[in-house]
């Protein structure tokens, strides 16, 4: 098995550690000094501490790449940036769209989308493809578009702007333009659906909010932008990384092919192994607090190294080994506490269907480049692969 190159932390520019240790002070690229929590228990303590705020507009909130993302005019904080008491009611309003029961019905449609994309990929005479545009990116993008009621025809518009928002290469002006562009786009779409609510998440939210007497156009615009971005970037990267990891481990892949009922536990293990969204769970202390014995003062930033926490030997035996039979559900890849990923059940459905179908339909699939030459996303807030050349 070829080893993966080290990950680089977008906050302080050093190699991101997978070694958990005591709470420590680190200096970010911006010069800001913050706390870093890397043990499983410490990360959980931060993410359940009411003194640790998610308010990204707080000037002390640790942001990656040493920059401050400026939001477009009138854009309200989205769910991920809210604290109690606003966060709970706002989350409950949309929670019903993401229950396991509700998403079970979506599985059939996910299967159709995956099959259509694999049909197109396998029709390629060269028997080679870049898995990212062929499968990883379009599948979750189509699914979130259909769920929200966003036209998929606009995917290049929103995919490119999402990429700008999470890339280190983007300037402050580019980030602002991307943010304003997405806001304008969603503002128009939500306005149209307000005039004539459609049977999709946005339309249903409009009706529900009217029934409950909560008519807040801007809040719905912010929420749907968050869902659109979070709904495709994350899962797309997990599809590419998970495929690569399984192709690197032929014994485990053979086990999975022989018994597809193991896919759900394999998905959890791959989520643990890569912890792609560890840098979205930062917090800022808004009161003095104590995190597992460490004093954190009001105004201090805390960032949580979920990848290290997910390799904590105190919780996961032999943590550096990928073991599709591990069956660990206590990983922190979807975060922890009040903000734990709203779309996790959707991501699980998509990942299960993709891995089951891809390895069943393409038994000779292989990576067409040495791992060391693959473009890993060390320049983005969400870890992943820019491209994944494959052949069969
Ligand atoms: C493999 C895929 C995914 C990963 C690894 C992931 C990871 C995360 C993490 C770590 C958080 C916590 C943020 C925090 O504590 O500040 C989060 C929150 C969130 N995620 Fe995901 N996510 C994934 C897929 C999705 C999908 C498919 C959707 C949408 C349909 C989604 C929507 C959200 C939303 C709305 C929040 C904010 C929840 C809140 O603040 O209450 N995610 N995600």
pLDDT digits (tens, 9 = 90+) for 203-222: 999 999 999 999 899 999 99
What integer pLDDT is reported at residue 293 of this predicted model? 95
Superfamily of domain 24-391: Cytochrome P450 (1.10.630.10)
CA-proximal residue: ligand 1, atom 31 (nearest): 343
pLDDT at 69 over 60: no
pLDDT above 90 (res 167): no
Nearest CA to ligand 1 atom 18: 341
3-state secondary structure of 15: strand
Pocket test for ligand 1, best of 50, 64, 87, 230 (most atoms within 8 A of CB): 230
Residues 6+ apart with CB under 8 A from 65: 10, 11, 29, 168
* 272 prior amide bond cis, ω within 30: no
CA of 164 from ligand 1 middle (Å) equals: 19
Q: How far apart are CA 83 and CA 86, in angstroms?
A: 6
Which pLDDT band, with edges at 50, 70 and 90, does 243 fall under? very high
Q: How does the average pLDDT of the chain come out, rounded? A: 91
Which is the closest atom of ligand 1 to the Cα of 278?
A: 10
Q: What local confidence, expressed as pLDDT, does residue 73 receive?
A: 46
CB atoms near residue 193 (< 10 Å): 21
Dihedral angle over CA of 144, 149, 155, 159, nearest 10: -50
Question: Alpha-carbon distance 59 to 93, whole Å?
Answer: 29
Q: Where are the domains of the chain?
A: 24-391
Q: What number is the average pLDDT over the span 349-374? A: 96
Number of Cα atoms under 13 Å in the Cβ half of residue 149: 22
Question: 217-247 and 344-361 are packed helices; what angle lies between their axes, rounded to 10 degrees?
Answer: 30
- Site of tokens 């032929």: 250
The tokens describing 41, both together, are 């228990």
Atom of ligand 1 nearest to the CA of 335: 10
289 beta partners: 296
Tell me the pLDDT tens digit for each residue of 157-166.
Answer: 998 988 888 7
| For ligand 1, atom 1: residue with the closest CA | 235
Model confidence at 59: pLDDT above 60: yes
For 149, 172, 203, 347, the CA distances from 100, given in Å and listed in that order, are 20, 39, 21, 11
Decide if 325 contacts 258 (C-beta within 8 A): no
For 331-344, write each residue's pLDDT tens digit.
999 999 999 999 99
Q: Distance from first CA to last CA of the chain, Å, rounded?
A: 19
Backbone φ and ψ of 332, nearest 5°: -110, 20
Tell me the chain's radius of gyration from C-alpha atoms: 21
Reading phi first (left if > 0) and then psi (alpha if -120 to 50, else beta), residue 94 is in alpha
CA of 18 to the centre of ligand 1 (A): 21
Q: Whole-model pTM?
A: 0.95
Nearest CA to ligand 1 atom 34: 342
Say whether 359 sits in a helix, a strand or coil: helix
Residue nearest to ligand 1 atom 40, measured at CA? 80
Residues with CB under 6 A from ligand 1: 54, 79-80, 91, 144, 226-227, 230-231, 234-235, 238, 276-277, 280-281, 333-335, 339, 341-343, 346-347
Q: Stretch 125-148: mean pLDDT, rounded?
A: 96
Q: Say if residues 253 and 247 touch (Cβ distance below 8 Å).
A: yes
Lowest mean pLDDT among 65-74, 188-197, 322-331, 338-347: 65-74
For the ranges 19-33, 118-132, 255-269, 285-299, the lowest mean pLDDT is seen at 19-33
Note the Cα 365 to chain centre separation in Å. 26
What is the token pair recorded at 238? 């997990």
- Taking the CB of residue 242, how many other CB atoms lie within 10 A of it? 24
CA of 392 to the centre of ligand 1 (A): 33
């Amino acid at each position: 098995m070829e080893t993966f190159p080290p990950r680089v932390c977008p906050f302080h520019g050093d190699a991101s550690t997978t070694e958990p240790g005591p709470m420590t002070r680190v200096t970010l690229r911006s010069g800001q000094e913050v706390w870093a929590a890397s043990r499983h228990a410490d990360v959980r303590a931060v993410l359940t501490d009411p003194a640790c705020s998610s308010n990204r507009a707080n000037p002390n909130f640790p942001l990656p790449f040493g920059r401050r993302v400026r939001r477009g005019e009138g854009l309200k904080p989205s769910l991920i940036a809210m604290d109690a008491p606003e966060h709970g009611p706002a989350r409950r309003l949309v929670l019903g769209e993401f229950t396991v029961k509700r998403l079970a019905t979506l599985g059939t449609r996910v299967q159709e989308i995956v099959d259509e994309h694999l049909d197109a990929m396998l029709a390629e005479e060269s028997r080679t493809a870049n898995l990212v545009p062929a499968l990883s990116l379009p599948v979750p993008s189509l699914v979130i578009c259909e769920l929200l009621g966003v036209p998929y025809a606009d995917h290049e518009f929103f995919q490119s702007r999402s990429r700008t928002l999470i890339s280190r290469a983007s300037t402050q002006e580019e980030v602002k333009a991307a943010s304003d562009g997405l806001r304008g786009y969603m503002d128009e779409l939500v306005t149209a659906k307000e005039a004539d609510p459609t049977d999709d998440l946005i339309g249903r939210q409009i009706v529900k909010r009217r029934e409950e007497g909560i008519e807040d156009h801007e809040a719905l615009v912010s929420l749907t932008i968050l869902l659109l971005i979070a709904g495709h970037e994350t899962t797309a990267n997990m599809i590419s990384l998970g495929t690569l990891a399984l192709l690197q481990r032929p014994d485990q892949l053979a086990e999975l092919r022989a018994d597809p009922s193991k896919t759900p536990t394999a998905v959890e293990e791959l989520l643990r192994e890569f912890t792609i969204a560890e840098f979205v769970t930062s917090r800022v202390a808004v009161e003095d607090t104590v995190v597992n014995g460490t004093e954190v003062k009001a105004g201090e930033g805390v960032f949580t190294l979920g990848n290290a926490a997910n390799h904590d030997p105190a919780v996961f035996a032999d943590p550096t080994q990928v073991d599709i039979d591990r069956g660990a559900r206590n990983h922190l890849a979807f975060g922890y506490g009040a903000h734990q990923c709203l779309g996790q059940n959707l991501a699980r459905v998509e990942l299960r269907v993709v891995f089951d179908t891809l390895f069943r339909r393409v038994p000779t699939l292989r990576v067409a480049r040495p791992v060391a030459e693959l473009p890993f996303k060390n320049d983005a807030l969400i870890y992943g692969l820019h491209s994944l050349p494959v052949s069969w």
